[in-house]
Amino acid sequence: MIEYLYQKDALRDASTSEGSMLKGLAHMDTLSKICRACKEPLPLSDFYKRKNSDSYVSECKACMKLRSKNQSNTGKDYLVPRATTEITAIDYLKSKGIPAVPGKALHHSHVDVVAFGCVEIEVKYASLKFQRSIEKFCFSASPSQQENGFRAQVVMLICDYKNGMMSYHFFDAKHPVFYMKGRMKTGFTFTPGMYEAKKHGSNRLVMVQGMMDEAQDNVALIYEQLKLTSQALKGA
């Protein structure tokens, strides 16, 4: 009798779990996203989720598989960006007339992108999402970055508004907004429309609208770093 009850409970739990899964898949199919590659509106189930995030990559599964197949046919080319974030960053930089390649192409695997062959750029991506009933962009630092700081010269923040619009913001890698009490923060949050910090003490600088507006499309920072690097090489 006891064994029968156990089996009955197990069947009920399995049925409930399967029903929840089917409801989740059905909900995913009602939401759509435009693929960055094929430009088609597709259900979220056609996209992979980003690692450790609730957001989805910008290319659909079919386009990613096709790109992977094409790359395998042409051999391993480190000049070709593979990560979606790298592709987005490099495409933007090239649109501004700035030559850029993945860091690993120049043996700079500790950074995401290298511009002009010498300016190292760390790229951080975040999509707009609700957190405690407020829409925010939440960027995170890796454990290595939390321990050692950024190894790049410039930090590029990509804000994805999930409506086809993205904004690009450039900071010096040593900017105090990334640090607190001399150590890198575990994450950095930007709330669109917030013009002053409300809950943080004077020892903590947070991203506000004015700061992000000033940093938006500020590719001049890359040219400044290029000039500094050139001067350092001449003086060496």
Multiple choice CATH, 82-236, 3.40.225.10, 3.30.420.40, 3.40.50.80, 3.40.1350.10:
3.40.1350.10
- pLDDT value of position 22: 45
Contact 48, 56 (CB under 8 A): yes
DSSP annotation string for 65-79: HHHHHHHHHH---TT
CB atoms within 10 A of CB 178: 24
Confidence bin at 97 (pLDDT 50/70/90): very high
Looking at the DSSP bridge assignments, the partners of residue 113 are: 102, 121
The CATH 3.30.60 domain(s) of the chain lie at 22-76
The CATH 3.40.1350.10 domain(s) of the chain lie at 82-236
Closest to 195 in 3D by CA, of 187, 185, 206, 203: 206
* Long-range residue pairs from 101-107, CB within 8 A, at least 24 positions apart, any chain: 102/78, 104/78, 105/78, 105/79
Contacts of 55 (CB under 8 A, 6+ apart): 49, 126, 127, 129, 160
Distance between CA atoms of residues 176 and 174, nearest Å: 6
Confidence bin at 14 (pLDDT 50/70/90): very low
Q: What are 44-83's pLDDT values in tens digits?
A: 999 998 877 788 888 999 999 888 777 665 545 666 767 8
- pLDDT value of position 160: 95
Burial of 24 (0-12, 13-18, 19+ CB in 10 A): exposed
- Look at residue 7 and tell me whether its pLDDT is greater than 90: no
- pLDDT value of position 221: 98
Instruction: Tell me the mean pLDDT in the region 97-104.
Output: 94
- pLDDT value of position 130: 85
Q: What are 189-226's pLDDT values in tens digits?
A: 999 999 887 665 554 688 999 999 999 999 999 999 99
- pLDDT value of position 162: 85
Instruction: Tell me the mean pLDDT in the region 87-101.
Output: 95
Is it true that domain 22-76 has CATH number 3.30.60?
yes
Q: What are 112-155's pLDDT values in tens digits?
A: 999 999 999 999 999 999 877 889 999 999 999 999 999 999 99
Structure tokens belonging to residue 13: 């739990």
- Look at residue 3 and tell me whether its pLDDT is greater than 90: no
8-state DSSP, 44: G
Instruction: Tell me the mean pLDDT in the region 157-183.
Output: 93
Closest to 111 in 3D by CA, of 77, 145, 143, 140: 145
